[in-house]
Amino acid sequence: MLRYLNLYGLRGLRIVRGYGQYVWDINNRKYIDCHTGHGVAFLGHVNPRIVASIREQLENIVTLSSSYDHYLREETASALEKVTPRKYSYFYLLNSGSEAVDFALKVARKMTGRKKFLSFTGAFHGRTFGALSVTWNPKYRRPFEPLLDAEFIKFNDVSAAESAITEDLAAVIVEPIQGEGGINPASNEFMKALREITEERNVLLIVDEIQTGFGRTGKVWASDLYNVYGDIMLAGKAIGGGIPVSIAFLRDDIGNSISEGDHGSTFGGNLLAMAAVKASVEVLLEENVPFKAETAGLRLMKGIKEICRDIKIVRDFRGAGLMIGVELRFDPKPVLEMLQHSGILALKAGTTVVRFLPPYLINDNDIDLIISALERCLSEENARRANVGAS
Question: Is the pLDDT confidence value at 390 over 70?
Answer: no
> In the chain, pLDDT over 70 holds for what percent of residues?
99
Q: Which residue from 17, 30, 20, 46 is spatially nearest to 345, judged by alpha carbons?
A: 30
User: Among 51-60, 255-264, 277-286, where is mean pLDDT lowest?
Assistant: 255-264
pLDDT in the model for residue 388:
76
Per-residue model confidence as pLDDT tens digits over 34-52: 999 999 999 999 999 999 9
Residue stretches of the annotated binding site for substrate? 127, 265
Question: Is the pLDDT confidence value at 310 over 90?
Answer: no
Mean pLDDT of the region 68-95: 96
Domain 48-286 = CATH 3.40.640.10: yes
Question: Is the pLDDT confidence value at 391 over 80?
Answer: no
Contact predicate 217/293, CB 8 Å: yes
Side chain identity, residue 178: Q
Sorted by sequence, the CB contacts under 8 Å of residue 322 that are 6+ apart come out as 42, 216, 217, 218, 293, 296, 297, 300, 356, 357, 358, 359, 360, 362
One DSSP character per residue, 31-84 reads: EEESSHHHHGGGG-BT-HHHHHHHHHHHTT-S---TTS--HHHHHHHHHHHTTS
Per-residue model confidence as pLDDT tens digits over 28-37: 999 999 999 9
Contact predicate 374/339, CB 8 Å: yes
User: Among 62-66, 158-162, 245-249, where is mean pLDDT lowest?
Assistant: 62-66
Mean pLDDT of the region 291-309: 96
Question: Is the pLDDT confidence value at 367 over 80?
Answer: yes
What are the residue boundaries of the structural domains of the chain, listed by start? 15-46+288-390, 48-286
Question: Is the pLDDT confidence value at 97 over 60?
Answer: yes
Question: Is the pLDDT confidence value at 278 over 70?
Answer: yes
| Domain 15-46+288-390, CATH homologous superfamily name and number | Aspartate Aminotransferase, domain 1 (3.90.1150.10)
Q: What is the separation, in whole angstroms, between the first and last Cα of the chain?
A: 48
Question: Is the pLDDT confidence value at 389 over 70?
Answer: no
pLDDT band at 272, cuts 50/70/90?
A: very high
CA distances to 245, 272, 278, 324, 368 from 47, rounded to whole Å, are 16, 15, 13, 23, 23
Sheet with 314-320: list strands edge to edge. 314-320, 323-328, 353-356, 347-349
Mean pLDDT of the region 56-78: 95
**Beta bridge partner(s), residue 91:** 249
Per-residue model confidence as pLDDT tens digits over 114-172: 999 999 999 999 999 999 999 999 999 999 999 999 999 999 999 999 999 999 999 99
Q: What is the pTM of this model?
A: 0.96
pLDDT in the model for residue 250:
98
Q: Is 163 exposed, middle or buried (0-12, 13-18, 19+ CB in 10 A)?
A: exposed
* Other CB atoms within 10 A of residue 264 CB: 8
Residue stretches of the annotated binding site? 124, 127, 208-211, 265-266
pLDDT in the model for residue 297:
98
pLDDT in the model for residue 70:
94
Mean pLDDT of the region 222-246: 97
pLDDT in the model for residue 356:
98
pLDDT in the model for residue 386:
82
Residue stretches of the annotated binding site for pyridoxal 5'-phosphate? 124, 208-211, 266
The whole-angstrom separation of Cα 126 and Cα 135 is 7
Question: Is the pLDDT confidence value at 261 over 80?
Answer: yes
Task: Note whether 15-46+288-390 and 48-286 share their fold.
Answer: no
pLDDT in the model for residue 138:
93
Mean pLDDT of the region 299-311: 94
pLDDT band at 9, cuts 50/70/90?
A: confident
Q: Which residue from 222, 1, 253, 244 is spatially nearest to 99, judged by alpha carbons?
A: 244
pLDDT in the model for residue 309:
86
CA distances to 144, 258, 332 from 261, rounded to whole Å, are 27, 9, 45
Q: What angle do CA 97, 56, 61 make, to 5 degrees?
A: 75
